Amino acid sequence: MIAELGHFALVLALAVALVQATVPLYGAHRGSARLMDMAAPAALTQLLFVAVSFFALMHAFVVSDFSVSNVAENSHSLKPMLYKVTGVWGNHEGSMLLWVLILALFGGMIAMGGRRLPSTLAARTIGIQGLIGVAFLAYILLTSNPFLRLDPAPLDGRDLNPLLQDPGLAFHPPFLYLGYVGLSSVFSFAVAALLEGRVDPAWARWVRPWTLVAWAALTLGIVLGSWWAYYELGWGGWWFWDPVENASFMPWLVATALLHSAIVVEKRDALKIWTILLAILAFSLSLMGTFLVRSGVLTSVHAFATDPTRGVFILGLLVVAIGGALALFAWRAPQMASGAVFQPVSREGALILNNLFLSVACATVLLGTLFPLFAEAFEYKVSVGVPYYNLTFGPLMVPLLLAVPFGPMLAWKRGTLTGAFQRLVAAAVAAVAVTAVAAALSGGTPLLASFGMGLATWLVVGALCDLAERTRAFRAPVGDTWARARGLPGSVWGMALAHGGLGIFLAGVVAVESWKTEELVIMAPGDTVTVAGHTLRFDGVERVRGPNYMSVTGNLAVTDGRFAGKTLTPEKRFYPVQRMPTTEAAIVTGLLGDLYVVMGEVQENGSWSVRIFDNPLAPWLWGGAGLMVLGGCLSLADRRLRVGAPQPRARRKPAEAAA
């Protein structure tokens, strides 16, 4: 009954979305306030219906209603409750429902916050959001209905893929979708602006929080996915340049560029056409990512069994959305006046450099990801792997990262490089020193890695220099600096945190990729082995029974090294319902790196093959990326984003007086 209710709510949501997608757009065109006023209630009603539908599906999972086909195929009565709940989006149908829920959520949030927007812009934005909703709701109802019944209902379900029964992956899809779909709001704003024929600093200011939310969520989603791959798959790696990973990384690159170019629109009324284009491209790449992941056209290590017919529908959607938006762009963009002029060496110039490198780097990733498809058209079967990305993406990032600390130091309109560099001397000195220390510690191999550590230092200390400059630290009395620090806007702290986090992340990347040690050894109980300064003793295996799996757990005691005294218990698990084995890596984490152990196979004489990794600075990857997310959130909390927005006259006066 509740499943039918969910299905029915979804149909109602589609009906409301149709109203939302047509009436406000027509009203904005005709200038009818009454028709435009339909936008906000429609968006909120659609959100309500989609939420009812989503929670109906969740209810079916929680109570293990196996008469619902989706639950029977992806759940099991013995599964822990957390994974019953997260199992809702651990399958194609449910994940698309989550997608639509987040889409409706953004539509609802724009409707709530839309009272401060000009009425036509708000109506058009919500209308476009409704249009996307129509497409995806139709997609779910026509090809991926999660509420199909089974008759007779099976006694128990087929369980969720055990790899997905994990906290990292439980929360990876919601955040990734929050990012992907969050970009839909920016897309809607951009298309609405094209319809209006007007882009101004106020527009950029309204769009910025939406971009920030999407960007921070996307960053977190990608990091959670990468972290999951690192500890759950047992391959010791964190990023494989796999098509499915690239699918999430490309929108991130463009969203990062957008975040920076929108600043130029907001502060200087320039780069408007480019910013609109980026907003369209960011969501287009999100849609393309969904298509690549859901259609299975590319060979991926992360691929799950897929149904190609569903891919065709998304491909059609993709063509209509991108084609329509770009056609509108080609038609309307030339009418937009271009803004203020500036010197190449200026804040604008630095932000353009950022955009240039990010978008070109994104293009190389796109080419590498899609190249196998092009080649297949000519009957070649090829794959593009890690070396391609190391040769293309890597070199493109170096000049960008070198330029990052300069950006905040340059003045708008016209800046000087020498002036900026004088304020970055501390960062340069620290970078050279760290390069020298890294080269001495590693014996200079590989030399590039030492420079990488220097570059990471340049980023971190560069961000600190910026904060010191703004608070006059070390030059003014401490109290004065403290007062200034407290007065700094959230966006400044956010930027410093994000840029510094990028540096810490880079240090993690360089150290793990360059100085990782990996050994495969055969160990009998009692054997010891030393890998990268860690001595481990194998104390045999024991059999353990988990809630819905059996496990062979190895015991390895660390007898010497940084982690002496710790015990590692890597597991080989077997999930009987899915008849699927999985590997659980055992990881001990310290500030300087991870010791990572995976069980291999039992040998004929009863010993085991064991794979041991020493991953230096691995936690810095997650820490650095986490700081970037935090930076995004701090920037979002900036009160200028709210106070600065135009408000009714009566309320603006006291706000000004207070300021």
Partner 1 sequence: MMTRRKKLRIGLIAGGLAVFAVAVGLVLTALQDQVVFFFSPTEVADKGVAPGQRIRVGGLVVDGSVIRGQGRQVAFDITDTANSMTVRYDGILPDLFREGQGIVAEGAFGDDGAFMASTVLAKHDETYMPPEVADALKKQGHWQEGAQ
Is there a contact between 79 and 62 (Cβ–Cβ < 8 Å)?
no
Tell which one of 33, 63, 142, 301 touches partner 1 (CB under 8 A): 301
Residues within window 198-217 making contact with partner 1, judged by CB under 8 A? none
C-alpha 256/C-alpha 222 separation (Å) is 14
Say which residue the tokens 């409707």 belong to: 111
Tell whether residue 458 is a contact of partner 1 (CB under 8 A). Answer: no
Using rule CB under 8 A, residue 363 touches partner 1: yes
Q: Look at the block and give the residue holding tokens 């203020």.
A: 340
600 is a contact residue toward partner 1 (CB under 8 A):
yes
Q: How far is the CB of 221 from partner 1 (least distance, A)?
A: 17
d(CA 40, CA 247): 32
Rule CB under 8 A: choose which of 514, 582, 615, 635 binds partner 1: 582
Looking at residues 389 to 408 of the shown chain, list those that interact with partner 1 (rule: CB under 8 A): 391-392, 395-396
| Residue of 90, 296, 570, 619 interacting with partner 1 (CB under 8 A) | 296
Contact between 299 and partner 1 by CB under 8 A: the answer reads yes
Give yes or no for residue 305 binding partner 1 (CB under 8 A): yes
Residue 33 in contact with partner 1, rule: CB under 8 A: no
Q: Is 604 in the site for partner 1 (CB under 8 A)?
A: yes
User: Which residue in 183, 130, 182, 184 sits closest to 14, CA to CA?
Assistant: 130
Report the C-alpha gap between 278 and 298 in whole angstroms.
25
Dihedrals phi, psi of 136, to nearest 5 degrees:
-75, -35
CB of 521 to partner 1, least distance (A): 8
DSSP secondary structure letters along 117-184: S-HHHHHHHHHHHHHHHHHHHHHHHHH--TT-B-SSPPSS-----GGG-SHHHHHHHHHHHHHHHHHH
Our finding on whether 342 is near partner 1 (CB under 8 A) is: yes
Binding map of partner 1 across residues 320-339, x = CB under 8 A, - = no contact: ------------------x-
Residues binding partner 1: what is the number (CB under 8 A)? 59
Query: Under rule CB under 8 A, which residues in 145-174 are in contact with partner 1?
Result: 161, 163-164
- C-alpha 394/C-alpha 179 separation (Å) is 24
CB of 602 to partner 1, least distance (A): 7
Among 11, 327, 380, 640, binds partner 1 (CB under 8 A): 380
Cα angle 383, 385, 391; round to 5: 130
A 10 A CB-CB count for 458 gives 25
What is the C-alpha to C-alpha distance for residues 613 and 615, in angstroms, rounded to an integer? Answer: 6
Strands across the sheet with 586-590, in order? 517-523, 608-616, 593-602, 586-590
Stretch 219-238 residues interacting with partner 1 (CB under 8 A) = 233-235
Stretch that binds partner 1, among 275-283, 317-325, 375-383, 402-410 (CB under 8 A): 375-383
CB of 583 to partner 1, least distance (A): 5
Q: How far apart are CA 512 and CA 616, in angstroms?
A: 5
CB atoms within 10 A of CB 354: 20
Instruction: Check residue 658 for interaction with partner 1 (CB under 8 A).
Output: no
381 binds partner 1 (CB under 8 A): yes
Q: Which is nearer to partner 1, 364 or 567 (CB)?
A: 364
* Secondary structure (DSSP) of 481-505: HHHHHHHS-HHHHHHHHHHHHHHHH
Catalog residues that contact partner 1 under the rule CB under 8 A: 161, 163-164, 233-235, 296-299, 301-305, 338, 341-342, 344, 352-353, 356-357, 360-361, 363-364, 367-368, 371, 375, 380-385, 387-388, 391-392, 395-396, 520, 522, 578-583, 598, 600-604, 609, 611
